[in-house]
Amino acid sequence: MIRAFLFDMDGVLADTEAISVAIGIEYFRTIGVKASYSDFQPNLGAGERAFFDRTALSLGADDKTGYSYDAASLYFRKRYPELVRKAKAALPGAAGLVHMARRSGIMTAVASSAPSWKVRENIEAIGLSAEDFDFIASGDDIKRNKPEKDIYELCLIKLGIDGSEAVVFEDSASGIASGKGAGCHVVSLMTTIDAESAGRAGADAVISDLSAFPAFSSPEEAADALDSISYEEKGVAYGANIIRPGKRRMSDSFTIERMKKAAAKARDNAYAPYSSFKVGAAVLSAATGRIYSGCNMENSSYGATICAERNAITTAVAAEGTVGIDMIAVCSDDDPPSPPCALCLQVLAEFSRPDTLVVLFSVSGKELRYKFSELLPNPFVFPTMRR
């Protein structure tokens, strides 16, 4: 049974990491040190001291260059409240999932590496209050911050539950490690980390944001919801990649209809002024269950034309990193429905299984279905990627 939801703050409930980094860049500029977003990224989610000290070390900033953690912390505290209040900081689904949990008899807690003052500012900025949580833990309450398990163990102790009864929502590798170390189920959001990296870090499930967590009305239903999005135990080969597929929440027939709608809608936006042959495509991510669509885009130089299928898969990769394709849908006005071209099949083979379902359909309603291996029985896979 699920008895508690434990939420990280930045990147999970609140979209404040960009604000934090902007202030960090400002501070280093005051001491004559140039910093960028990428300098701070490895230190997100590990607490304020790590945020500044580790970044300073990577930049070669020390007391000789004018760097001081105390000064950086003071600068941050002065600038942060004003900026976070101006920003629309609440991430999709944040308040909704917190309130749904509480209505369902599930306890809620915040487990943030940030100092307590910042956690309070964030809670107000996203339209919630301290009363919406049974416990609030901050970096001030522990000696060892994430990736150590301390902060989540503290939450478990205060709530009087075991780790197996709690779901942690995180968005970083260090946070995932912290939650797993405490014995909790961990759901990773893709606000900061991609699906493949989250899987490698040990996340049990990956969702785009909190709004993607399935609805529930009791602790038992919450457990079923978690199970429905959780990864299978072992990785599965999808073309040249190993993916930990999530459990399909919807029936094949329902999923196929969603795929067809996405492909048909994309086809409407196709740019085909030369051939007038419009195509839309959609691919289904094995890890997250998300559908990504694309359309063909022609060019005066025909070689620069991009097919709908390649457009869809590049959108998926841009959103998730390495993906596995569970299903492909292609919409055209051809009769019989047009299959992907040979070049697109080779591209799709990089991310598909032999039994990946390919649904071809026309605007007139005709439909054909194939296994991927029936369309491309012997795809080329680079020697070092063969399994």
State both tokens at 205.
């499930």
309 a catalytic residue: yes
For residue 137, the cross-strand partners are 111
End-to-end Cα, the chain, rounded Å: 38
β-sheet with 280-285: strand ranges across: 291-295, 280-285, 325-332, 352-362, 367-371
- CA 4 to CA 366: how far, in whole Å? 48
Phi first, then psi, for residue 364 (nearest 5°) are -85, -5
Phi first, then psi, for residue 331 (nearest 5°) are -115, 130
Give me the residue label for tokens 């075991």.
Answer: 162
Cα separation values, 355 from 81, 89, 204, 279, 376, Å: 53, 42, 25, 23, 11
Give me the residue label for tokens 């279905």.
Answer: 369
Rounded to 5°, the CA angle 140-164-92 comes to: 65
Cα dihedral 253/255/258/263 (nearest 10): -100
Q: Which listed residue (298, 309, 320, 350) is catalytic?
A: 309
Contact call for residues 280 and 264 (beta carbons, < 8 A): yes
- CA 19 to CA 64: how far, in whole Å? 27
- CA 57 to CA 39: how far, in whole Å? 10
Q: Which of 244, 266, 386, 267 is nearest to 326 (CA)?
A: 244
> What are the b/e assignments for 74-96, b being 16+ CB within 10 Å?
ebbeebbeebbeeeebbbebbbe
Q: Return the active site residues.
A: 309
